[in-house]
Amino acid sequence: MENIEKTLDFKPIRLDWTSENVREQIFYKGGHHIGGINVNADGTFDKECQTYQQIKYLLNNHFCPDVKLVTWGDIKKSKFIELNNFGLDYQATSYLKLIHENHTGGMNMGIMNTKTDKVWGGKSSLDTSAFYHGCKGHWLLHDIQKNGLNQPIQCGLMKQANREMYNTHVHPGSVRQGVFGATDNEDMEIIVWDAYNAFDWIEPMNVDEWISVFTRPQFNGEVPTQIHATYSYLNIELQVSGAHNSVTGKDDIEYNWRNEVKNFSKRVSKLFNGKPLTVYIGYDSRHQGIEEVQIKSHMTAFKRSVREDNERFDPEFKLLDTSKIEEYTREYANQSTEFTYSRFLIPYLENYEGFSMFIDNDFIWEKPFWEMFYFLHPDNAVACVQYDYELEKMSKTKMGGEENVMYPKKLWSSLMFFNNSHEDCKKLTPEVINTATGQYLHQFEWTDAIDRIPDKYILTEGMSDDEKRYHAVHYTRGGPWIADMDCSDIKHLNVYEKHYNK
C-alpha cells in the first residue's frame, strides 16, 4: 500500500460525501493526471504498467466512489436526477445565431466565415466555445443515431442540500449529455460514480470491466492505442487517444472527429446561404390573436433560457397570411384553417434558400425550440414530429365542433423544419400547392427524405400523457381564441392564459 502511494504525485483523499460542500472540495483540489495505459489492437490492455496498478489501488481502496454502468433509461427511472440538465438548448442558441454565416474551425475551435474561410473576429472565448459545441452537437446527434455511441459519458453525483436529489458533474461528455436528453434513447450508456448508492439496483464494476468499456472501437472503427487517466477525487476520468499522425501532427481519433464537425458545420452553413432561420406561424383571421400569444411565449422562453448578453438566437417571426400571398389561389374548401395548405409554400416564399420552420398557430411554448432544429440532417428535405397516435382514439371534433379528419401521419405537418434548397422542397411550387391533394402534401408523398423529431417535445392536448415533460402545448382541439367555443373540456389552458395575460 505505501509503495503504491509513493508512486503517486498527489495524496489521495476520501471525500466526506455527507457534507453539503462536496462540490467545493472537488473543484478546490482539481485533477491529477495519473498516466496512460497502452491498448492492443484486439482491445486488451497493459495490466502490468504503473498507471493500471495505481488506478486499481485508488478504486479498490475507496479513494473514489463505486463506478457503475447505467443507461439513460436508468437515469429517467431514478427520479432523483434533474432531467432538465440534459439537453442542447444552450449550445443550439449560439449555433443558430451564427451558423448562417459561419462554421467552426474544428481542432482550433475558431469561428470561420463560410464565404471567406477566414477567422471571424470580435467574439469572446465563451461565444467561440458555445458556437463550437453547438456545431459539435448537431453533427454528434446524427453520428450517434447512425453509428451508435463510441463510449459512455462520465458522471459524478453530488447530493443537493436539503433535497433527495442529485446534481450531475459530467466530464468528459457534456455535449453527448445533451444528445442523451434530446434523442431520449434509453439504451445510451453513462458511467456513474455513485457515492450514495443511488442506483442501488446496479452492481459496481471492477477495474477491468470499467477500463474495458473504453477499449471498444471508436470513431470510424479505430481502436484506441492508449487510455489516459485523471484522478479528481470525485472520480477517475478516462480519455482515449489514437496513433499520432506524422502528417497532421495530431492524434488520429481526435483529429478525425473534429474534422468531421468542421466539415459538417461548413456544409450546413453553406445551405443557410447567409440567411438566418426563418420562423413562420400559421395565421387564421378567425382566430383571435392566438399567433401573437404564441410569439410572446417564444420570447419568454428565450429570455428565461439564456441571458441577453450571451449569443442568443432571436428569430424573425413571419405570419403565414394567405391574404398577402398573391400566388396562393386555392379555393377555401374542407380546410380546418386558412393555412392548411399554404404552409407548404414556405420553401418557395424563401426562394428555395436556407432553412425555415413552420408552426401551427395553436402552439404555446414553455421552452425554446432551438435544439429541435438539430434533428434535420443537411441531406434531408424536412424534419417533423412523427406522431404515432391511435387515430381511432382521437377526438372526432376539434376547434368548436369542426370534424377532425383522420389520416396517416396526422399532425406531422403541424411543425416542420424545411431544408428549402433540397430538390424535394423545390417540388413545392405554387402550382402544386394550389392543386395537389391533401394526401400528397400532408402525408409527405412529395419526399422520402424526412427526419424524425421526437414527440417528447410536444404535449398534444387531449392526447398526450398529462404528466409528460414538454417544450410546447399544442391545442389541436381549439381554445378561447375561437369565438363562442365551449372550452370546458380543454386541458392545460393555464399555459395559454399565463402568456395571454402578459
Model confidence pLDDT, tens digit, residues 132-173:
999 999 999 999 999 888 889 999 888 877 778 888 888 888
Question: For residues 462 and 481, is the Cβ–Cβ distance under 8 A?
Answer: no
Those residues whose C-beta lies under 8 Å from the C-beta of residue 178, and which sit 6 or more positions away, are 86, 87, 88, 90, 91, 137, 371
**Shared-domain flag, residues 233 and 353:** no
Q: How many domains does the chain have?
A: 3
Q: Please name the helix (run of DSSP H) or strand (run of DSSP E) that holds residue 131, with its range, or none.
A: helix 125-147
Which has the minimum average pLDDT: 5-9, 48-52, 53-57, 391-395?
391-395
Could you tell me if residue 121 is inside a domain? yes
**Shared-domain flag, residues 371 and 486:** yes
Average pLDDT on 250-262 reads 78
**Shared-domain flag, residues 62 and 105:** no
**pLDDT at site 491:** 93
pLDDT tens-digit readout, 280-314: 999 999 998 999 999 999 999 998 887 665 678 88
Residue 215: is its pLDDT beyond 60?
Answer: yes
What is the domain range of residue 264?
89-144+250-269
pLDDT tens-digit readout, 51-77: 999 999 999 988 889 999 999 999 999
Residue 207: is its pLDDT beyond 60?
Answer: yes
Could you tell me if residue 180 is inside a domain? no
**pLDDT at site 15:** 75
pLDDT level of residue 124 (50, 70, 90 thresholds): low
Could you tell me if residue 181 is inside a domain? no
**Shared-domain flag, residues 304 and 291:** yes
CA distance 304 to 93: 13
φ and ψ of 257, to 5 deg: -75, -35
φ and ψ of 116, to 5 deg: -100, -20
Could you tell me if residue 184 is inside a domain? no
C-alpha closest to that of 474 among 486, 483, 463: 463
**pLDDT at site 469:** 86
Residue 488: is its pLDDT beyond 60?
Answer: yes
pLDDT tens-digit readout, 424-433: 999 999 999 9
Residue 406: is its pLDDT beyond 60?
Answer: no
Which one-letter DSSP state was computed for residue 277?
A: P
Which has the minimum average pLDDT: 236-245, 345-354, 491-500?
236-245
CB burial of 105-115 (b: ≥16 within 10 Å; e: otherwise) equals: bbeebbbbebe
Write the secondary structure of 207-220 as one string of H (helix), E (strand) and C (coil).
HHHHHHHHHCCCHH
Which has the minimum average pLDDT: 430-439, 445-454, 461-470?
461-470
**Shared-domain flag, residues 361 and 487:** yes
Could you tell me if residue 459 is inside a domain? yes
**Shared-domain flag, residues 157 and 132:** no
Question: For residues 237 and 243, is the Cβ–Cβ distance under 8 A?
Answer: no
**Shared-domain flag, residues 404 and 307:** yes
**pLDDT at site 199:** 94
**Shared-domain flag, residues 326 and 404:** yes
**Shared-domain flag, residues 96 and 206:** no
Residue 444 is part of a domain; what is its CATH number?
3.90.550.10
Could you tell me if residue 182 is inside a domain? no
Could you tell me if residue 414 is inside a domain? yes
**Shared-domain flag, residues 358 and 472:** yes
**Shared-domain flag, residues 411 and 479:** yes
Residue 419: is its pLDDT beyond 90?
Answer: yes
Residue 345: is its pLDDT beyond 60?
Answer: yes
Average pLDDT on 405-425 reads 89
Return the percentage of the chain with pLDDT > 90, whole number.
59
Could you tell me if residue 27 is inside a domain? yes
CA distance 189 to 187: 6
Residue 395: is its pLDDT beyond 60?
Answer: no
Between residues 210 and 241, which one has the greater pLDDT?
A: 210
**Shared-domain flag, residues 303 and 348:** yes
